[in-house]
Structure 1
Amino acid sequence: MKALVIGLGSMGRRRVRCLRQLGADSIEGFDARADRRAQAAQEYGIAVREQLAGEDLRAFDVVVISTPPDAHHTAIAWAIAAGKPCFVEASVIRDPLPALAEQAKARGVLVAPSCTLRFHSAIREITQIVHSRRYGKVCNFSYHCGQYLPDWHPWEKVSDYYVSNPLTGGAREIVPFELTWMVDAFGWPQQVQGTKMRTADVGAPIDDTYAALLRFDGFVGTLVVDVVARQAVRKLTLNFERASLSWDWDSGVVRVWEAEPGRLVELHQPKTVAHAGYHQNIGEAMYVAEIAAFLAAAQGRGAFPHSLQDDIRVLSLLEQIETP
């Protein structure tokens, strides 16, 4: 399999590692920045390109798009025109994705938007519990994802990459990243209300905190996302008719208090290994599993779990949260 990775920043290099682990025999990369090309070539020994045009994609079997979000649409259009299945990192800008979705459908080209957290073992377990209805219906949930933006890329200034752009800002990007797994677990909300604001100086003129109230069929949920939390956190509290569930990203354990027997059940998750320089909880396994699912779909061995149409719908939810 011959793979092209467009964009060799942090995520692009991670996708190179994923492809290599999954046995891709030929990987090339492109980035407009010479330093990123040099780093990828040095670390992974891949061939790198200084220039790239749409017709160049015809030489590859699959394409991975790891550019900043505001450049996704150009590379997606190239992949569709070349008839090549492509994987796209988490998006944050809806337009012009609807038009690209129509083009991809007309030409029968797979576009697989990232849905990384669906491959996280704890989230998979939580989703299975919700879908099983073993504890009755969901009553409510609250979820908080907090990070500190300068910690994302300690090796460079926040102002030097896309998270400093208000349109692709760090907090704004995380909202659909989280919603992508939430709509899989809980379904699509019927009503969304939200707010956003800048609460601190994180090195960029962006809204750093988002809060949303999600109304579903018979239950409600809250989502808070921020990039001002000095200690990274992902915490979920989920109440069912006959149980209460809690999950803390740091613990590696999903805890369920079962009301009727009156007992606490602990579902321990497998330990994962993080790449050097990353937080210990950001293991590589979910990223590898995601690319494996993409390659399987590209080879006709199953459907990728998140479609471009789904991604457009998630990004519409983001826009609703931002609407006063």
Structure 2
Amino acid sequence: MKFLVVGLGSMGKRRIRNLKQLGHTDVIGFDTRGDRCKEANEKYQISAFTDISNALKENPNAMVISTPPDLHMKYAKVAIKNKVHFFTEASVVQDDMEEIIRELKDSDIIGLPSCTMRYHPIVVSVNNILKANKIGKPLAFLYHSGQYLPDWHPWEDYRKFYVSKRETGACREIVPFELIWLTSTFGKISNVFGLKTKVSKLEADIDDIYSVLLEFQNGIRGNLTVDVIARFPYRQLKILGEDGVIFADWSDRTIGYYTKEAGWKNTKIDDGGIEKNYIHGDGPYVEEMSMFVKSIKGEVEQPYTFEDDYNILKILESIEKSSDVGSKQKIIN
């Protein structure tokens, strides 16, 4: 199977590594920037093109779209037109997504949006602990995901990076990125109340903190904070159950649960090798690429769809509306 990686920035390079880790050596790349094509060629020994039409002449079977979010649907359309299976990174822009959903319904093409966090070993462990009823019925959770924006890509000026644009801003991107796994773990959301604002001196036209109260249909209450001002990269979770507590810390790579009878039981997790200048291990991303390949081959049911992704982005829209109008918003499922 031949793969075309579209966009050779940090995520595109990660996806090349992922595919090679899975044993897929027939990989080519595309980026409008010649310097990135040169880097990919030198670092990963792949052919890379600055013209998408030339890349498509190589007859790829699948595309991995790792461009900025506002270009995802543009290249998804290219993939569908050329009858090529495709994967997209985390989305934050709804434009043309409904069209992609319609076109995929009448096609044999696999179009898979990213749901990386579902494969993270901490999330897998959380789900296992809950399913085993170790802390009883979950009642509420507190979740914080934050990292100082200039530290996202220390090798480039954050002000020239898509995460500093209002439509594709860093917090706007991470809120749905987290909601994908939160809704998978805790269920459907019924109501949201959000507050978003800018509190820092970052030179970017974005809201740098989102504070969100989530009400789930099953009665669970969640408190979600996403920011790009934390000078230490936090991702921490507390789940309060009737009989105990779960605590997870992604930076420390630990997860544990507490009950009065047994005390704390803690486990260190391994999320795969960490590339230089990256914070998170490649493990969940490799698993995600594996699921993409298995979906194409028909070995597994597609784990996530663009319809699912569209519904997540509608929740983001409701969170932002809640902040703008100052009232709780009902989620229509």
Category of TM-score, reference length = shorter chain = over 0.9
User: Which residue does 1:232 correspond to in 2?
Assistant: 233
Check if 1:41 corresponds to 2:48. no
Whole-Å Cα distance in 1 between the matches of residues 8 and 303 of structure 2? 25
- Kept in 1, the 8 Å contact 2:186–2:220? The answer is no
Report the counterpart of residue 330 of structure 2 in structure 1.
none
Give how far 1:81 is off: 1.9
Q: How does 1:87-102 map to 2 (within 5 A)?
A: 87-102=87-102
Counterparts of 1:23-62 in structure 2 under 5 Å? 23-53=23-53, 56=56, 59-62=59-62
Q: CA–CA distance in 1 between the matches of 2:220 and 2:159?
A: 40
TM-score, normalised with respect to structure 1: 0.95
The gaps in structure 2 that reach 5 residues or longer are: 325-333
Q: Distance in 1 between matches of 2:254 and 2:6?
A: 36
Match of 2:232, SS state, is strand
Partner of 1:245: 246
CA distance in 2, matches of 1:114, 1:271: 17
Q: State the aligned residue count.
A: 321
Once the 2 structures are TM-superposed, how far is the Cα of residue 58 of structure 1 from its aligned partner? 8.0
Structure 1: gaps (5+ residues)? none
Aligned partners of 2:185, 2:278: CA distance in 1, in Å? 27
Q: Which amino acid aligns with 2:72?
A: H
Query: 1:221 maps to what in 2?
Result: 222
Provide, for residues 287-306 of structure 1, a one-character-per-residue CA deviation record: whole Å limited to 9, x for no partner.
11110111111111102322
Question: How far apart are the structure 2 equivalents of 1:52 and 1:287?
Answer: 24
Tell me which residue corresponds to 2:149. 149
Q: Deviations over 1:30-69 (max 9, x none)?
A: 0011111111111111101121139927811111000110
**CA shift at 1:204, angstroms?**
1.2
Is 1:254 equivalent to 2:255 in the alignment? Answer: yes
**How high is the TM-score relative to the length of structure 2?**
0.93
1:290 counterpart residue number: 288
**Secondary structure of 1:53 counterpart:** helix
Equivalent residues in 2 for 1:13-162, closer than 5 Å: 13-53=13-53, 56=56, 59-162=59-162
C-alpha distance in 2, partners of 1:58/1:101?
27
Percent sequence identity over aligned pairs:
38
Aligned equivalents of 1:7 and 1:273: distance in 2?
Answer: 22
Match of residue 171 from structure 2? 171
Q: Distance in 2 between matches of 1:31 and 1:108?
A: 27
State the shift of 1:25 in Å: 2.8
Worse-superposed segment, 265-274 or 92-101: 265-274
In structure 2, distance between residues paired with 1:128 and 1:181: 14
Q: Compare 123-132 and 241-250 and name the one that shifted more.
A: 123-132
Whether the 8 Å contact between 1:69 and 1:93 is mirrored in structure 2 is: yes
Distance in 2 between the 1:121 and 1:218 partners? 26
How far 1:129 sits from its partner (Å)? 2.3
8 A contact 2:80–2:109 mirrored in 1? yes
Tell me whether 154-163 or 144-153 shows the greater mean CA deviation: 154-163
Residue of structure 2 in register with 1:321 after alignment? 319
Please state whether the residue corresponding to 2:222 is helix, strand or coil. Answer: strand
User: Match of 1:296, as an amino acid?
Assistant: K
- Shifted more, 220-229 versus 77-86: the winner is 77-86
Change in Cα spacing, 1:102 to 1:203, as seen in structure 2 (3 Å) is same
Deviation at 1:99, TM superposition (A): 1.6
Shift of 1:4: 0.3
8 Å Cα contact 1:55-1:82 kept in structure 2: no
Tell me, in whole angstroms, the C-alpha distance in 1 between the residues paired with 2:120 and 2:57: 31
Q: In terms of mean alpha carbon deviation, does 26-35 or 266-275 score higher?
A: 266-275
Cα RMSD between the aligned structures? 1.6
Deviation, 1:268, is 2.6
Q: For residue 196 of structure 2, give the secondary structure of its aligned residue in structure 1.
A: strand
Q: Bigger shift: 297-306 or 220-229?
A: 297-306
Cα distance change of structure 1 residues 54 and 314 upon mapping to structure 2, 3 Å threshold = farther
Secondary structure of 1:124's counterpart equals helix
Cα distance, 1:130 vs structure 2 = 2.5
- 145-154 or 126-135, which deviates more: 126-135
2: CA distance, partners of 1:160 / 1:45: 28
Change (3 A) 1:225 1:254: same
Deviating beyond 6 angstroms after TM superposition, the runs of 4 or more aligned structure 1 residues are: none
Cα offset, 1:271, TM superposition: 5.7
C-alpha change, 1:250 and 1:33, in structure 2 (3 Å) is same
Paired residues of 1:8 and 1:30 also in contact (CA < 8 A): yes
**How far off is 1:211 after superposition?**
0.9
